Amino acid sequence: MEQKLTHFDDNGNAVMVDVTDKKITQRTAVARGCIRVNEEVFRRILEGSIEKGDVLGVARIAGIMGVKRTSDLIPLCHPLMLSKSSIEFQLEETTKVITAECTCKLEGKTGVEMEALTGVTVALLTIYDMCKALDKGMEIFGVHLVKKTGGKSGEYERSV
């Protein structure tokens, strides 16, 4: 069965989804993405010797701030009262890849997938911004929803 898109009215006009009659449920979303950097950037992030400061600390705060501003950035997103937002990083020395993961939670009538995706993207962009003087060829890739829980559509977990 084909699912109806709810961001358009019967005349094809873009509208904010009406969540008035939806049930309040606990909702969680986890998103992940990566940035590949050069050897020097990777080493200096580990050493804490980037001139602009603590790259991962600043990227964590930027990602959380991005989560909170999602409805200002993505048209028709509902402003949400989040109960949790976190950003974690994993560094893979052999590939020089930094993976960011954003988790968002709330009790509400709409999901937090867009917030998690925004948070991880802003965190990765912040790493790029803080390190671009040393490596303009950094590559942001693989931003995706890992899993989500709650709501009418239930649970989703990416299989790949």
Cβ contact 128:98 at 8 Å: no
Which residue among 10, 72, 129, 135 is the active-site one? 129
Task: Identify whether 129 is a catalytic site residue.
Answer: yes
pLDDT tens readout for residues 74-112: 999 999 999 999 999 999 999 999 999 999 999 999 999
Cβ contact 143:32 at 8 Å: yes
pLDDT of residue 70: 97
Which domains are assigned to the chain? Answer: 25-148 (3.30.70.640)
State phi, psi for 57 to the nearest 5 degrees: -65, -45
Confidence of residue 4 (pLDDT cuts 50, 70, 90): low
Helix (H) or strand (E) holding 30: strand 25-36
pTM for this model (two decimals) = 0.91
Long-range contacts (CB closer than 8 Å, 24 or more residues apart) made by 51-57: 51/133, 52/130, 53/130, 55/126, 55/127, 55/130, 55/131, 56/89, 56/98, 56/127
